[in-house]
């Protein structure tokens, strides 16, 4: 039996899994200058559905001061994030799996469509289906 995901995925653990500096690394690779980025990316635990054995996370995109976070900027990000080596979702999911212990493994993951929560906050849902080891 794994621990309660809420106990595992604390703010500190999430920041270790997806460090704040990864946003700057992403924009440096994309634009050649980290200051060109319009948002900072943060990993947030959302929920665990026991019935489907699915962990729900969000990649929160927080608008940077003086920048504009608009839908046409973030709509295509799930496809970009899913394969970008700096975002490294395969590695992130592997790291999440290690935290769950040896009774379950991450079976598969997928990113959902970008959701605009507020003008300055967009979210990309990350679902990870688990299976018994």
Digit-coded pLDDT (tens) for 106-117? 999 999 999 999
DSSP 20: T
Model-level pTM greater than 0.85?
A: yes
- Using CA of residue 43, residue 83, residue 69, residue 63, what is the dihedral sign? positive
Q: What integer pLDDT is reported at residue 92 of this predicted model?
A: 98
Mean pLDDT for 85-89 is: 97
pLDDT greater than 70 at residue 1:
no
CA–CA dist 106, 20 (Å, integer)? 24
Give the 3-state secondary structure of residue 106: strand
CA–CA dist 39, 23 (Å, integer)? 8
CA–CA dist 17, 55 (Å, integer)? 15
What does the CA dihedral 70, 123, 129, 84 come to, rounded to 10 degrees?
Answer: 50
């Amino acid at each position: 039996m794994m621990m309660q995901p809420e106990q595992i995925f604390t703010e500190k653990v999430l920041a270790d899994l997806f460090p704040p500096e990864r946003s700057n690394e992403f924009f440096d690779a994309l634009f050649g200058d980290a200051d060109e980025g319009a948002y900072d990316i943060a990993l947030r635990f959302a929920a665990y559905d026991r019935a489907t054995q699915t962990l729900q996370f969000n990649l929160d995109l927080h608008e940077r001061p003086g920048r504009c976070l608009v839908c046409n900027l973030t709509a295509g990000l799930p496809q970009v994030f899913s394969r970008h080596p700096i975002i490294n979702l395969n590695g992130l999911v592997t790291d999440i799996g290690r935290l769950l212990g040896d009774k379950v493994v991450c079976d598969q993951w997928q990113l959902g469509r970008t959701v605009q929560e507020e003008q300055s906050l967009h979210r990309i849902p990350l679902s990870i289906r688990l299976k018994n080891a």
